[in-house]
Amino acid sequence: MRYESLSFHTENQVMVINLPAIADYHTIITQLTDELSDVCTVAASEKEVRAVIINWEQDEFPPGTELAGFGSVSGEYETTPLSLTAAVVKLDIPVIASINGYAIGQALELVLACDIRIASETSYFAMPHIQTGMIPWDGGTQRLSRLVGKGKAIELILTGEMINAREAHRIGLVNRIVETKELLSAVTEMAHAVAAKGPIALRYAKEAVLQGLDMTLEQGLRLEADLYFLLHTTRDRSEGIKAFQKKRKAKYKGK
């Protein structure tokens, strides 16, 4: 596929997906959705990709972009709006969001679909759908509440309030905030640190946490135990033990 609405590259087992900073996403939403889905498929199929960075950079509030978001074709809302998060949440490898600037509406929903969120100190966040008589449609009502709690999620969704990076960090919406000039290096450093871990263990850990949210505690504990014992049957587990004993860097194969 020829990519026109985004770009990506892979380096040291980390795929970086750069999303564009433009004023009106309505004009490219169909193409962006298709291309993001295709890139995620590539990431999932390539064994050398062990972590993904989604780089969101919108330095200025996008004038002309409908406050409710940008999830439909030609500005007209459809019965089934286009989803930016669907392909991302299917990835079983870790996904880190790098946020610089405004994550508004569906952009914030995409950020919420990632596993870890790191933002620049000048970033802002909002779910302003309610201001135009809409509600979040790409997972916002569900993922925001799971991340920051029911009370704060309802407040942000019902008021459409915009919050800054410091408040987003305080309520747990983002994991870290860093100086703008340090953002890329901070995100890249974390992604490489994650990618260096055993790929099977990474997948199982992510599965245990995310699936466990929809289970009872007893069911979640059973899932955790099952995945733990499955890891003992892998070559990576043996390699991890040998590397630790010999005080060397582990060479994981994903087997």
| For the chain, percent of residues with pLDDT exceeding 70 | 86
Q: What is the pLDDT of residue 216?
A: 95
Buried b / exposed e over 200-236, threshold 16 CB at 10 Å, is bbbbbbbebeeebeeeeeeebeebbeebeeeeeebeb
CATH of 199-246, one of 3.40.50, 2.20.28, 1.10.12, 2.60.40: 1.10.12
What DSSP character marks residue 169? H
Check whether 20 has a pLDDT greater than 50.
yes
Parse the chain into domains and list their residue ranges.
Answer: 7-195, 199-246
Q: What is the pLDDT of residue 67?
A: 39
Q: Could you read off the pLDDT of 196-253 as tens digits, one per residue? A: 999 999 999 999 999 999 999 999 999 999 999 988 888 777 767 766 666 667 777 7
For 7-195, CATH number?
Answer: 3.90.226.10
Q: Could you read off the pLDDT of 173-208 as tens digits, one per residue? A: 999 999 999 999 999 999 999 999 999 999 999 999
